[in-house]
A = this chain, B = another copy of it.
Amino acid sequence: LEFRVLGTGSANPQLGVHPSAFVLTIENHLLLIDCGEGTQYQLLKYKIKPTRIKYILISHLHGDHYFGLIGLICSFNLNHRTEPLTVIGPEGLEEIILAQLKYAQSKLSFELTFLLTNPLNTENVLIESTFTVFSFPLKHRIPCTGFLITKTAPPRKVLADLLPANFAPVYYKLLKEGQDVYDELGQKWYKNSEYTQAMGPKTFAYCSDTIFDADLPKYFPNVDLLYHEATFSEEQVDRATFTFHSTAGQAAEIAKMAKAKQLIIGHFSSRYQSYSHFLKESEAIFQPTMLAEEGLNYII
């Protein structure tokens, strides 16, 4: 599970800073999470093959989170994409995209499916064989959802150190599949529970734009990585509340309450030239905190 940051900015455009867009890699699947203006150029810059993106998740319909989507879809089409694409997002997104395609008289070369998120309640919006996407309500100025992405548990890990050196590969495979193994030669039972270890699912939670909301942590207890917006630092807490955004300290509070393993903060207001005080403010409450940095890849 890898999380790559393509944009750390917020709504006000800033030269050299890009609006929200993130790529989550789950084995062979690439999920694009939010898609601000210029995201397709960020994909080019970081050499992320757009055809590998099969799912796009949009948190809400403020421009810094989706104005790059139509351009990306049109570029997929220009390049004769054939892989189906699923876009998950709020009401209105499909209407807007389809209107733009209609007036461009574009007939897509690939199947485009929209799945609607529910801004009022939790929902399992996508269940795939290796991961699931669960959406939960965020409190912002317009309908907005966060996402919990769970990489489902991989096969059990075989504890090779406990096995004899000449242990047959076919037995090894059976253990990995979760079976007990009887070694006729050695006349010994290898109980799966003793010779393998369960690998837990990995989880990633994404809170794009939200006021501080103590209800949030219940949606992602013990999450492996939490991305939470931190548009402002503490001295602007009133402005954060007024605009339905959060401070770095508030993001840290949410991470702490959720017992997250790690926190990444981003979506910084253009009023700040550096973000070191965001880090300090968050780390005083929750560790480890990381600052989102464009181009960086965070391993979960």
Given A41-B13, A99-B92, A99-B96, are A71 and B78 also a contact pair (CB < 8 Å)?
no
Given A12-B75, A71-B13, are A96 and B104 also a contact pair (CB < 8 Å)?
no
Residue of B nearest to A44 (CB): B15
In the assembly, what is the distance between CA of A91 and CA of B63, in Å?
Answer: 22
Find chain B residues with CB under 8 A from A103 CB: 61, 90-93, 96, 142
Given A45-B15, A96-B99, are A61 and B104 also a contact pair (CB < 8 Å)?
yes
In the assembly, what is the distance between CA of A45 and CA of B95, in Å?
Answer: 33
**B-contact 0/1 string along A116-156, CB 8 Å cutoff:** 00000000000000000000000001100000000000000
In the assembly, what is the distance between CA of A75 and CA of B36, in Å?
Answer: 13
In the assembly, what is the distance between CA of A290 and CA of B45, in Å?
Answer: 29
In the assembly, what is the distance between CA of A93 and CA of B100, in Å?
Answer: 9
User: Is A37 a contact partner of B68 (Cβ separation < 8 A)?
Assistant: yes
User: Is B13 a contact partner of A104 (Cβ separation < 8 A)?
Assistant: no
Judge whether A249 is part of the interface by a CB distance below 8 angstroms: no
Q: Which of A2-25 contact B (CB under 8 A)?
A: 11-15
Judge whether A276 is part of the interface by a CB distance below 8 angstroms: no
Judge whether A62 is part of the interface by a CB distance below 8 angstroms: yes
In the assembly, what is the distance between CA of A264 and CA of B296, in Å?
Answer: 40
Copies of this chain, count: 2
Specify which of B45, B95, B99, B104 is in contact with A142 (CB 8 Å cutoff): B104
Find chain B residues with CB under 8 A from A90 CB: 103
Q: Which of A84-98 contact B (CB under 8 A)?
A: 90-93, 95-96
Judge whether A26 is part of the interface by a CB distance below 8 angstroms: no
Q: Which of A44-82 contact B (CB under 8 A)?
A: 44-45, 61-63, 67-68, 70-71, 74-75, 78-79
Judge whether A40 is part of the interface by a CB distance below 8 angstroms: yes
Distance (whole angstroms) from the CB of A58 to the closest CB of chain B: 11
Instruction: Give chain A's interface residues, CB within 8 Å of chain B.
Output: 11-15, 37-38, 40-41, 44-45, 61-63, 67-68, 70-71, 74-75, 78-79, 90-93, 95-96, 99-100, 102-105, 141-142
Supplied contacts A92-B103, A93-B103, A96-B99, 14 more A-B pairs, CB within 8 Å: A12-B78, A12-B79, A13-B40, A14-B44, A15-B41, A37-B68, A37-B71, A63-B71, A67-B70, A67-B71, A96-B96, A96-B103, A99-B99, A105-B142
Contacts A/B (CB < 8 Å), 25 sampled: A11-B74, A11-B78, A12-B75, A12-B78, A13-B41, A13-B44, A13-B71, A13-B75, A14-B44, A37-B37, A37-B68, A61-B100, A61-B103, A62-B104, A63-B74, A67-B70, A90-B103, A92-B99, A93-B103, A95-B99, A96-B96, A96-B100, A103-B142, A104-B142, A105-B142
